[in-house]
Structure 1
Amino acid sequence: MYLAQDEDTIAAISTPPGEGGIGIVRISGKDALNIAQTLFVGSRRQDLRSVPGYSLHHGLLLDPDSHSVLDECLVSVMRAPHSYTREDVIEVNCHGGRLSVRHVLEAVLRCGARLATAGEFTKRAFLNGRLDLAQAESVIDIIQAKTDAGLQLAVQQLHGKLSTRVELLRQTLQQLLALVEASIDFSDEDIELISHDRISSELQSALAAITELLAGAQEGKIVRDGLSIAIVGKPNVGKSSLLNVFLEEERAIVTPVPGTTRDTIEDYINLHGVPIRLIDTAGIRKTDDHVERLGVERSRRLIEQADMILCLFDTSVPWTEEDDAFLDMIRKKAKILVLNKIDLPAQVSVHDVLSHFSETVPVFQISISEQLGLDELKQEIVDEVLDMPLESVAVTNVRHKQALTQTQKSLTHAENSTSAGMSQEFIALDLRDALQHLGEITGETTTEDILDRIFSTFCIGK
């Protein structure tokens, strides 16, 4: 792989916008030390160009034109190749006000640095061999992690949990391809360097390894990206009350009057490590009220978009046509049936509700007012979406899953060719395709377009 590399010295603000104790301006590139020295007057008159790496220096930062003091600061010096980008890196630690950080960055840019693009520091870390592409992607996952479990998975990716397994698989397939190609080269001399049986055995082992990686991909995606769950039902069945219970706060207004919720209410919760976007929808019913009707229509759209549905029923009142109406909307969705108000005399049984479904559907009986069955319901939600322990998950990124799926297809083609006794040229072709797709995960095989798409999701200072 060869990718053209920009040799500009780049700079950006690396701390979030707003007021804070410290603001950091990061500089990376061959002129980083010279630019910093132009602006910096050390308390001990030290020259940043001659100080050792991993050192911190106190002083003043001066405007390059007027020589007025911009701020008092601490300057971190990290020398290539022992830095995040493997280039010379300077981090100016100044006061964290909006103006002070911006003025420091502007001064750095006037001295010859270029404003970094989104994710450019991490892109340089990848291009300089500091990180592979899967590890580079984990950086933004760490920044954007919504739960402790998501953060833990992202840190494991940064430390090479997936990359190590992919690299071992690549080495195995490269060795297999080398033997297959050697057999092709010596085919005229009637020398078989590797038999079809051994090729088949190696391919089956590789396919088993990929299957194991893909097994936790759905769980990884859920922990990384989260899950949207819509709470649906006819009016006054307890949807807003259930939302408040999950959020542990009075987020939604609750009254005995049907149709109180006229718009959707959304919020995030952390459920056993799974980030969940909960959506309280307007009660599904026919209504002449224009505002309520708009809320019902919006609820219908959100039901279509949700990953899972919590279908709420009030067991203290008889089954009605309104219950039938919204059941038709959710038949094809992943769902959990929730029977509320079991503390009151029952007018509807579990059997009555399940009789409207031909498939097996999980059902839970709860009482929101009496706090009955709620912990079991929360656990069921997690059990429904996570089929394996998170410790076994290695794939969290859709791009990685797609590359592994393509690798799996190529190896399956190779295995079919081997079983059919076809020429080893066909097997070699499929092995090359498999290696191409595997290389996309770690960046051994990639393009500028792919890199631009990945790093555009980063913040500018990272």
Structure 2
Amino acid sequence: MIQDTIAAIATAVGEGGIAIIRISGPDAIATTARIFRSRDDLREVDSHTVQYGHIVDPATDEKVEEVLVTVMRGPRSFTAEDVVEINAHGGVVAVKKVLDLVLLQEGLRLAEPGEFTKRAFLNGRIDLMQAEAVIDLIRSKSDRAFQVARKQAEGTLSKRIKALRQTVIELLAHIEVNIDYPEHDVEDLTSAYIREQSGKALEDIGKLLKTANEGKILREGIMTAIVGRPNVGKSSLLNALVQENKAIVTDIPGTTRDVIEEFVTINNIPLRLLDTAGIRETSDVVERIGVERSHTALEEADLILFVLNNNEPLHADDRLLLERLEGRQVIVIVNKTDLEGRLDRQELEGLFPADSIVNMSVLEEEGLDGLEKAISRLFFEGQLDSGDLTYVSNVRHISLLKRAQQSLVDAIDASNAGIPIDLIQIDVRSAWESLGEIIGDEVGDSLIDQIFSQFCLGK
């Protein structure tokens, strides 16, 4: 049972139309009533109603702020506890005065990051997977990522995990009955049941894991490095994609000295763009550091946009880069198509598939659609508008699904090899526990603390 009452600012700090101080816990309503003056006693009002009045300093009876107060009695609230939200004027001073009264004078505790959502989980209103989806909602960078997170927050993915656990627990119960009552066990029937139930669960896990790559991309974005020789148009491409002059563009080679990172969504595809320094041999100390960082970005990237100059033949530096791109996800951008073509296209098409080569003129703003289609085809097989938004996007969930998958494979292999059933039980139980960790049924306090520490204060 959670005994204390917590408070925090639930809106971004700074100037705004309104700011909200959220209070949750057994003393939320009584505490607010002591500092709130209105026509009605806050302790007597109906749940889910809004009251107009003033926050007053009880020590001096001085009005501190004109506010609206929303009362939500548990368990019909986000945390499943009594919750009060004080809507004050947006601004640092006004909010601080109200919060100081709540914390210093009334003695409530400042909430830890994510503690409101943590209480919703601990009080059983949501499971751990739904709680983690809340932070994905906040951080989503595209409409599609938001929709996926919303589905997870609603419990769509949790239902599939719970159904999986039910399949596995039925198998586990069957095995444990046969261990306790071996005289009733028919070995052939038990082995067939193990293969049937494990196979059914493995099929469902496989379907979920098929969505993992797309889900992870939607959640975190595609780490995309823009690479190439100096002055081929890398920084111009970055500026065109973010539709803002983020990178300095000049005719002088080596202008970009460091890696510039920007987040952009094109055609509902989130990209973490890294504009790198032009890769070449140089005696300039500062530029050399930039080139080294470009090499690091190149190694870490999920996608590489390799920019070439249509107006020049392949250079020795281009060929050196080509060697490093072998086996990587690469889209070749032939830039400056508004100029005379001096690049050997036949040689280029012998090195890369035709559908991974995009013709562009960043200066003329031509070819961006082709780049969007190439990225979509490469990472999503061109299907970005599927109605099913049940994606697995969290790395922790993916890892636990793979662990459960391996445990069930081991159980089938052990059954086929004639391993004693009490040893097979260990693998089946391991799969059940791994699935339980996803939704929070089998998880320790340290992991819970680690997950919720990633949240912002007041959520």
TM normalised by structure 2 equals 0.93
- When the two structures are aligned, how many residues end up with a matched partner? 455
**CA–CA distance in 2 between the matches of 1:366 and 1:95?**
49
What are the Cα deviations for residues 202-245 of structure 1, in whole angstroms up to 9, with x where unaligned?
A: 11111000000011111111111112211111122121222222
Query: What secondary structure does 1:167 align onto?
Result: helix
Aligned match of 1:293: 288
Pick from 398, 402, 408: which aligns with 2:399?
402
Instruction: Check if 1:93 corresponds to 2:90.
Output: no
Residue 107 to residue 392, structure 1, CA distance change in 2 (3 Å): closer
Report deviation, 1:297: 2.5
Amino acid at match of 1:187: P
Aligned match of 1:242: 237
**CA–CA distance in 2 between the matches of 1:272 and 1:237?**
25
Contact 2:214 2:391 in 1 (8 A): no
Structural RMSD (CA): 2.1
Aligned match of 2:49: 55
Aligned match of 2:372: 378
Pick from 3, 27, 31: which aligns with 1:35?
31
Contact 2:10 2:20 in 1 (8 A): yes
Query: What secondary structure does 1:49 align onto?
Result: coil
Residue 79 to residue 393, structure 1, CA distance change in 2 (3 Å): closer
Instruction: Check if 1:217 corresponds to 2:235.
Output: no
More displaced, 248-257 or 229-238?
248-257
Q: How does 1:246-325 map to 2 (within 5 A)?
A: 246-325=241-320
**CA–CA distance in 2 between the matches of 1:11 and 1:139?**
19
Report deviation, 1:191: 5.7
Report deviation, 1:189: 4.3
**CA–CA distance in 2 between the matches of 1:50 and 1:143?**
34
Aligned match of 2:119: 124
Aligned match of 1:138: 133
Pick from 164, 183, 189: which aligns with 1:169?
164
What are the Cα deviations for residues 378-429 of structure 1, in whole angstroms up to 9, with x where unaligned?
A: 2111221224545354211111111111110111111112222332212222
**CA–CA distance in 1 between the matches of 2:178 and 2:408?**
19
Contact 1:10 1:115 in 2 (8 A): yes
Contact 2:157 2:390 in 1 (8 A): no
Amino acid at match of 1:51: V
Pick from 15, 19, 22: which aligns with 2:15?
19
Residue 369 to residue 12, structure 1, CA distance change in 2 (3 Å): closer
Aligned residues with identical type, % of pairs? 45
What are the Cα deviations for residues 427-452 of structure 1, in whole angstroms up to 9, with x where unaligned?
A: 22211111100001111111100100
Aligned match of 1:427: 424
Residue 422 to residue 111, structure 1, CA distance change in 2 (3 Å): same
**What stretches of structure 2 of length at least 5 have no aligned partner?**
none
Report deviation, 1:193: 10
TM normalised by structure 1 equals 0.93
Residue 323 to residue 224, structure 1, CA distance change in 2 (3 Å): same
Contact 1:183 1:193 in 2 (8 A): no
Report deviation, 1:264: 3.2
What are the Cα deviations for residues 341-382 of structure 1, in whole angstroms up to 9, with x where unaligned?
A: 33444332233235567x999322333344443311221112
Report deviation, 1:94: 1.2
**CA–CA distance in 2 between the matches of 1:269 and 1:59?**
43
More displaced, 47-56 or 322-331?
322-331
**CA–CA distance in 2 between the matches of 1:260 and 1:151?**
37
Pick from 412, 421, 427: which aligns with 2:409?
412
Contact 2:226 2:275 in 1 (8 A): yes
**CA–CA distance in 1 between the matches of 2:107 and 2:365?**
64
**CA–CA distance in 2 between the matches of 1:33 and 1:112?**
14
**CA–CA distance in 1 between the matches of 2:69 and 2:265?**
38
What are the Cα deviations for residues 172-220 of structure 1, in whole angstroms up to 9, with x where unaligned?
A: 1111211121122221345669531122111111100000001111111
Residue 191 to residue 204, structure 1, CA distance change in 2 (3 Å): closer
What are the Cα deviations for residues 162-181 of structure 1, in whole angstroms up to 9, with x where unaligned?
A: 10100111111111211121
Amino acid at match of 1:25: I
**What stretches of structure 1 of length at least 5 have no aligned partner?**
none
Aligned match of 2:437: 440
More displaced, 152-161 or 383-392?
383-392
Aligned match of 1:456: 453
Contact 1:219 1:393 in 2 (8 A): no
More displaced, 60-69 or 89-98?
60-69
Residue 400 to residue 190, structure 1, CA distance change in 2 (3 Å): closer
**CA–CA distance in 2 between the matches of 1:266 and 1:440?**
34
Pick from 56, 67, 71: which aligns with 2:65?
71
Amino acid at match of 1:20: G
Amino acid at match of 1:29: G
Query: What secondary structure does 1:27 align onto?
Result: strand
